Amino acid sequence: MSSDAPEPAASGYTKGGCSASPAAGSDKDKLKEKEKARVNRTSLILWHAHQNDAVAVRKLLEEDRSLVHARDYDKRTPLHVASLHGWIDVAKCLIEYGADVNAQDRWKNTPLADAEGAKKHNMIELLKSYGGLSYGQNGSHFEPKPVPPPLPNKCDWEIEPSELDFSNSNIIGKGSFGEILRAYWRGTPVAVKRILPSLSDDRLVIQDFRHEVNLLVKLRHPNIVQFLGAVTEKKPLMLITEYLRGGDLHQYLKEKGSLSPSTAVNFALDIARGMAYLHNEPNVIIHRDLKPRNVLLVNSSADHLKVGDFGLSKLIKVQNSHDVYKMTGETGSYRYMAPEVFRHRKYDKKVDVFSFAMILYEMLEGDPPLSNYEPYDAAKYVAEGHRPFFRSKGYVAELRELTEQCWAADMNQRPPFLEILKRLEKIKENLPSDHHWHIFNT
């Protein structure tokens, strides 16, 4: 197994009832301990399936056969995980213990649909030999056809491609999915995320595109990039948002270096306002890729910031404010990634608070966090318990203290964005007007 694999959670293997108090031995406490142990074992079998560790999977199933039906937040079973990666030995072990070869995740994908989507031919043969069917958005039962609108009814945000003027367009961003262009829509400059035509029939790309559109339709906030419309009925698929002339925070920091405390606090307030809106319960949106490139400046005066790019975001209907979820590990950008994401642990909205701390550090220091490390190595270093070193010496101890609390190893120790906002407002009130950082190279 990888050296980055999480340690088995101790609480999953210890027995309760050690305390002398009568409450410790109550049925309620025993039920809580039992549920805690079950959650830990669920996380473990999914992790070991992901790591292709058939021995560990078999050991867990020998202890508890019901784990073969374990599900993560997205209702994916260990067999889904093994099928996606093509881990034959793990899949055989799971099937031996009674795994449902036609279990469906939240997108109605079966393990065979995942194997087909990932082109794992040996796995496809294995699953078919046990009666596996290919259902779901990734499955072969869904033949390529025009992409339906993300919402069931024709909406006023559906844009006719002829309304978009690309005659003087220029590329302002690129990715594996396609490109982002500055264009005009009804005379207004806009940013257009355009999916490559070659990917317009790719089921996973379509799924991600529809997911992002569905999220953006719901968002209305002055510190969130405004969605204007989308092209979903014709190719290429396009997503249209407001165009922000100031560029992104990454480029701004590259040019300006470290910011004055007053500017850093004002920027941080704008980011935190947008994030507090996203994290509002009960419908919490976890950004999962908060970084300077995804924070945009409204204009060249840099007097207003907005959070953008929700391609990796997750909409979570929170039943309990302390709920945590097993979601896709290593989602987002390594340099700003929370340690629990890198280590494939359960995580919640506090991953965005960690990323916010890294951005705040970068604004104060002028350099990306752990800039002397490659991104993956930086994430690994952070997951081992290390944090960036402050070189700036100034009078604003509260800013450094807030940053350190936001990147705490224990996500429960990180403050929520509503609290971060209050603390930033207080810091702003007490900030001397002539304050500046002094940089010392150590």
Q: Which of 72, 248, 289, 309 is catalytic?
A: 289
Is 59 annotated to bind a ligand? Reply is: no
Indicate if 289 belongs to the active site: yes
Sheet arrangement for strand 178-185: 164-174, 178-185, 188-195, 238-242, 227-231
Binding-site members for ATP are 193
Binding-site members are 193
Looking at the annotation, which residues are catalytic? Answer: 289
